[in-house]
Amino acid sequence: MTSVQHQILRYIVLIILSIFPLIAILILYLIEPLHRNFSIYDISIAHEYKNDTVSNPLVNGLTFGSSLLFAAVYCIFSPAKCQSILSCIMSLFFGFGITKSFTQLLKITVGRLRPDFLQRCKPDQEDVRMHSIEDMRIFGQLLSHDFKCTGDAQIVKEGHMSFPSGHASSISYAFAFCSFLAFFWCYRYIQQKKQTGMSRIFLLMICLTLSQTLILIALYTSSSRVSDNRHNISDVIFGFIIGVIGGIISGLIIWIFECIEKWEESDEQVI
């Protein structure tokens, strides 16, 4: 099998692998999350229901916008532009798909209630009264139940999916992916050992500045989910970790592909 055939086969495999997580995301979004019993006196889920500081369209725009921008700059300065473009795009979708599908899977299986759940749910008072009569007769107090909700069905559904934070996993994915591309490009530039051009310290400062900017955006977006009463701190931290791991996986895929291409070029030159 020739090197061209090897490349085609690799990209076909990566395309297939990129499609599966995206399909999984669509399926998982259709599944109803776990409904936990709750107490109407639980202060941890009795916070105010607010509007999002950073909306879903905005965080998705930031995630894909920054990732595609960094990927485009990386590919422009890549020796093999076509291969780099394909590997960047495919690894971006694969890593993001894995990140979002894993996040959504945890959301629907854990079923943790959001801090503003009671205002989302608006428990049916007749249902509460019926459970109260039964519980008071047997236990002397109202217990936790999966009370019937009268709020908007979609808003209530979202209220059952607090853990982990989807905003945190998305924006931290972009931070990790873009930072990996920036440092990998700097490393490759330095390895070329050019006599003229940017110094190593200057390159390192650029990478550190870009990474610092990205992490500040990621931290602001993630912290807004706590102040908006959408998540607990643990939801945000775990979502952030998931996103960073996904971004690193995407970056490693690009690095592996480029290493394989270099090995094949070296073999052809030897032959």
Domain membership flag for residue 230: yes
pLDDT of 28 > 60? The answer is yes
Q: Which residues are catalytic?
A: 167, 231
Asked if the structure places residue 177 within a domain, the reply is yes
Tell me how crowded residue 4 is: count the other CB atoms within 10 A of its CB: 9
Residue 79 has pLDDT above 70, yes or no: no
Residue 41 falls inside a structural domain: no
> Helices (DSSP H) in 53-152: which residue ranges?
56-76, 81-110, 117-121, 125-138
In angstroms, rounded to a whole number, what is the distance separating the alpha carbons of residues 98 and 250? 10
Give the tokens for residue 95: 């890593």
Closest CA to 73 of 206, 190, 260, 194: 206
**Three-state SS for 33?**
coil
CA distances 41 to 45, 47, 125, 151, 208, Å, are 9, 12, 14, 18, 47
Residue 243: the pLDDT is: 96
Alpha-carbon distance values, 258 to 33, 95, 264 (Å): 40, 17, 10
How many separate domains does the chain show? Answer: 1
Residue 256 lies in a domain: yes
Residue 250 lies in a domain: yes
Taking all residues of the chain, what is their mean pLDDT, rounded to a whole number? 85
At residue 47, what is the residue type?
H
* Residue 20 domain-assigned (yes or no): no
For residue 108, the enclosing domain spans 56-113+161-270
Q: What is the pLDDT of residue 205?
A: 80
The residue among 151, 163, 93, 88 whose CA lies nearest residue 118 is 151
What's the whole-number mean pLDDT along residues 135-147? 91
CB 171 within 8 A of CB 245: no
Tell me how far apart the alpha carbons of residues 124 and 110 are, in angstroms, rounded to a whole number.
Answer: 24
- For residues 207 and 252, the model is more confident at 252
* Residue 156 included in any domain: no
Which residue reads 């690095």 in tokens?
255
List C-alpha distances in Å: 89 to 83, 119, 162. Answer: 10, 41, 30
In a domain, 143, yes or no: no
1, burial (CB in 10 Å: exposed 0-12, middle 13-18, buried 19+): exposed
User: Mean pLDDT across the stretch 86-106?
Assistant: 88
With the CA atoms of 219, 222, 227 and 228 taken in that order, what torsion angle do they form, in degrees rounded to the nearest 10? 150
Q: What mean pLDDT is predicted for residues 160-170?
A: 96
Report the pLDDT value the prediction gives residue 197, as an integer from 0 to 100: 54
